[in-house]
Amino acid sequence: MENIQEQEVFSMPRIGDKAPEFTATTTQGEINFPGDYKGEWVILFSHPADFTPVCTSEFMTFAHLEEKFNKANCKLVGLSIDGLYSHIAWLRTIKDKIKFNGMKNIEVKFPLIEDISMNVAKKYGMIQPGESKTQAVRAVFFIDPTGTVRAIIYYPLSLGRNFDELYRALIAMQASDKFNVATPADWEPGDDVIISPAGSCGVAAERMSGTDELECEDWFFCTKKLDKDLVLKEILKK
């Protein structure tokens, strides 16, 4: 029995899996996940506990950037193993009292899930016993408009997340989908993108002979320009 429980704690969806479904009470009412978000990207993220400083800094930053994520067709949903009234009191304290990194009077408007039972946290593998048996680690799940998990990032309790990277990853995945390309290390909109390696000797030879569109370092490593304005026009809502 102990081994089965251990497996349940560590179970988590993988990239390419459908996001596990759940219904939950949140600070914005009940949600049915991911059904309520069909057609939109979602960042589902967990934090260890309410009324903790690193989590407070993260929630203020997410709330400050919420409109930016919304313009990229992405909703935010938070979670911790705390009760609804604790969530409400914490978010009110953030708005009324906390200043951080030039931000103040920050109102968190996206849903924060109550998960005292740990049901959702266990479904998503957010409980890591080696780190804590009673707190969720800082997990981030990117879920696409079809309800499919597209990327997963995990951080330990002590490490606050990099929000520039979360946004960059979101835009990069959308650009990959829209333009059928891959994005290289440190890619930002406007940078060159990577096209799939040649699938035959003929295509490889053709690419190495030179084209106006492609820049090839070798037959397997070819890039092309992708205009920044085009990327942002196709991804960001007006």
Round to whole Å and give the CA distance between 75 and 73.
7
Is 138 annotated in a binding site? The answer is yes
Our answer to whether residue 216 is catalytic in this structure is: no
Edge-to-edge, what's the strand order for the sheet holding 214-218? 193-194, 221-224, 214-218
Name the catalytic one among 55, 74, 216, 222.
55
Tell me which residue of 162, 159, 154, 90 sits closest to 127, measured CA to CA. Answer: 154
Instruction: Retrieve residue 186's tokens.
Output: 């440190």
Round to whole Å and give the CA distance between 20 and 11.
11
* Sequence ranges of the binding site for substrate: 138
**Catalytic residue set:** 55
* Sequence ranges of the binding site: 138
